[in-house]
Structure 1
Amino acid sequence: MSSSIPSLLSIGEEVTDAEEVPPLCSRPKRGLESFLLFAQDIPTTNLGFLDSRAAAVEVSIRGNEYTIHQSPTLLSSSRAGGTTGAVLWKITPLFAEWISSPNNPLWTSSFLTQESIITELGCGISALIPLTLSPSIQHYIATDQEYVRRYFRTNLDENISANNANTATSTKKGKGASKAKKASKSSTSASTPSSNITFTTLDWETDQPAFLKGCIEGNEGTVHRGNDEEDKGFDLILSCDCIYNDALVTPLVRTCADICRLRPAYNPNSEPEPDGDDRKPTVCIVAQQQRAPEVFETWLRETLREFRVWRVSDEILGDGLKVGTGYLVHMLLLRE
């Protein structure tokens, strides 16, 4: 069992009861976690779009500039199945910067490494999170509905090309070009070619997560461990701003749990055996914007049935995502 998990448990305070109510609380139907979070002053924004009317928006993440093409027309259409993934949401660049930071506990604990495989649920059109993470891991599988695919691929390809061109130009300037090139290798890692990013559709109601790895080119759907046992699981699941109505909650939580069950659950009392299962338990990180407290409570109640839950602390999140910004980030570990 992975020794990096215990160090992650200090990422924040564990949430133990969605229904617990503060003493003398005048709102007895509000759970404690929701009461504490939604009692904060939250910035007044729209639904959370960065700019829902623009055909393209510019964002900067860790020194890299990105142009994100989006579809305001598709967003406002009456397409069955929803259209919220057609534009960039404000939380996405903030989350991409946080999750890709070398100071993030997922990296400092060595839970994430160059061998890690990550999947994202409800990725939307931007490709920002895989663009920032893919240079540091083995493979990234982004999932959403089919209508997202074309814009996702456009944003992926164009931003890789643009950042490669910028990097090539900047490293040729000055007498210290060769030294600058070496120094820039790590700082511009998000601009390296990302053939290790795959987009595939995933229906939370009907598709089987056990087949997700089958979409990786050259892979039959599994990664083999040293003893030739098949590993269909993932090191990390990401979900960024996928929780905005009650109807999505149960399918999302169930899909997260189904993916986590492809790996063993974390057991703090178990000792690794020499020939035992050495796969890391899957960690799930859920980021969301604070909207309706009732929807958040529904998500938390459903999630606590399947997972242990930690709310990531302000100290670790930093100014962009801390409590009071209108955003929340939780870490989930599957219950045994």
Structure 2
Amino acid sequence: MHRPIADFLANTASEEVTDAEEEAFLLFSQEIPTTNLGFVDSRASSLDVTIRGNEYTVHQSPTLLSSSRAGGTTGAVLWKITPRFAEWISSPTNPLWTHSLLSSGSVVAELGCGISALVALALAPSVQHYLATDQEYVRRVFRTNLDANASVTPAASASGKQKGSKTRGSSRSTSKGKQSSKAATSNITFTTLDWELDQPELLKGCIESESGGHSGSEEGEEEDRGFDLLLSCDCIYNEALVAPFVRTCAEICRLRPAYDSSDEQTSRSRPQPTICIIAQQQRAPDVFETWLRETLREFRVWRLSDEVLGDGLKGGTGYLVHLLLAREKSLFPSGGT
């Protein structure tokens, strides 16, 4: 068993979930704050957002949101959970950092990133590389938001990798300042990922292709095509998307060895299992239960405790965060219950 994961699970009072119906009843029988669909302001062309004392400007596309584009448009605007999640995942006090599950050497992938780029902007300064994925329509505004906020320098990154003062870009920026701004987001890559058609094992190649490098594996070592952290923020709202979403999560996580609680080996040559964090707003209990039932086939699941989540995401806020670790293989055959 990978020791940091075991320590995290043992010391954070996070509860393992084994029954989808029971978990759905427990969570949705409590009073849930009214947050409507979950948009911050779907009619604004831009929004100002503060994360850990840093101010970001998020450009949106209300026109695209209201269009009849096939394949959906929900990623065209900012959702309320995203700033909260970005603040939590990038905080130096987050137990994922204090238990060494994340570090300055971590490679992170995000599913369904949307246009805001907020999670990438908040987390990327603390990790080695951040790969954001979504549909092609997201790319242009995502890049706009990266460029607009490249000069926001976190006062202290979670890993301690980058420290400095907050600065904002201006028309009087020097050429040196522009170069620094570009460098601040140079470890963020966007690529399209179709949950039904694309091959997750090719994802890491997008990073290597953009950087002009390769896997970094030593000669004779097997190439690591996996990620340290896979995260998704508010992608579970449509029952038709549940199966391809869960399958994609499982395929990405299985690019690394599965979590095995009976394995006491701590060999450094074996990469850490991929940790999958799924954050979502509480909406329809039937959709949530469908997601969890499908997820339990592929993963062991823990609901993160209030102690881990803090005020912004704890129970009663209307948001849920679960940690997933892939099983060696599906618990049930396709179509099982």
- For the aligned pair, the TM-score class normalised by the smaller chain equals 0.7 to 0.9
Q: Does 1:129 align with 2:122?
A: no
Residue in structure 2 matched with residue 158 of structure 1 by the alignment: 148
Structure 2 residue ranges without an equivalent (≥5): 169-180, 329-337
Which residue is 1:185 aligned to?
A: 163
- Gaps spanning 5+ residues in structure 1: where? 19-30, 168-181
Counterpart AA for 1:230: E
Contact 2:298 2:327 (C-alpha < 8 Å) held by counterparts: yes
1:40-72 residue CA offsets vs partner (Å, 9 max, x unmatched): 111112200000000001110001000100011
**Count of residue pairs brought into register by the alignment:** 306
Change (3 A) 1:147 1:221: farther
Question: Hey, what does 1:178 align to over in structure 2?
Answer: none
Per-residue CA distance 1:266-298 (angstroms, 9 max, x = gap): 112224376x85101000000000000000000
2:224 aligned with 1:231, yes or no?
Answer: yes
Judge conservation of contact 1:211–1:221 (CA < 8 Å) in 2.
no
**Given the alignment, which residue of 212, 235, 241 partners 2:234?**
241
Deviations 1:193-227 (A, max 9, x none): 12000000000000001000111123566341574
Distance 2:108 2:230 in 1: 6
> How many Å apart are 1:228 and its aligned residue?
2.6
Per-residue CA distance 1:232-252 (angstroms, 9 max, x = gap): 000000000000010110011
Q: Please report the TM-score for the alignment, with normalisation by the length of structure 2.
A: 0.86
More deviation, 287-296/3-12 = 3-12
Q: Find the partner of 2:33 among 35, 43, 49.
A: 43
Q: 1:203 aligned to 177, 194, 202, which one?
A: 194
Does the 8 Å CA contact 1:119/1:141 hold for their aligned counterparts?
Answer: yes
Q: C-alpha separation between the residues in 1 aligned to 2:90 and 2:144?
A: 22
Please state how far the C-alpha of 1:187 moved relative to its aligned partner: 6.6
- 1:286 aligned residue: 278
Mapped pair 1:303 → 2:314: no
Identity over aligned residues, as a percent? 70
Q: Distance in 1 between matches of 2:235 and 2:266?
A: 38
The residue that corresponds to 1:253 in the other structure is 246
Determine helix, strand or coil for the equivalent of 2:256.
coil
Q: Distance in 1 between matches of 2:47 and 2:125?
A: 23
Query: Structure 1-normalised TM-score?
Result: 0.86
Q: Which amino acid aligns with 2:300?
A: R
Task: Choose from 254, 258, 261 the match for 1:265.
Answer: 258
SS of 2:57 mapped into structure 1: strand
Q: Which has the larger radius of gyration?
A: 1
**Residue 186 of structure 1, CA deviation:** 5.4
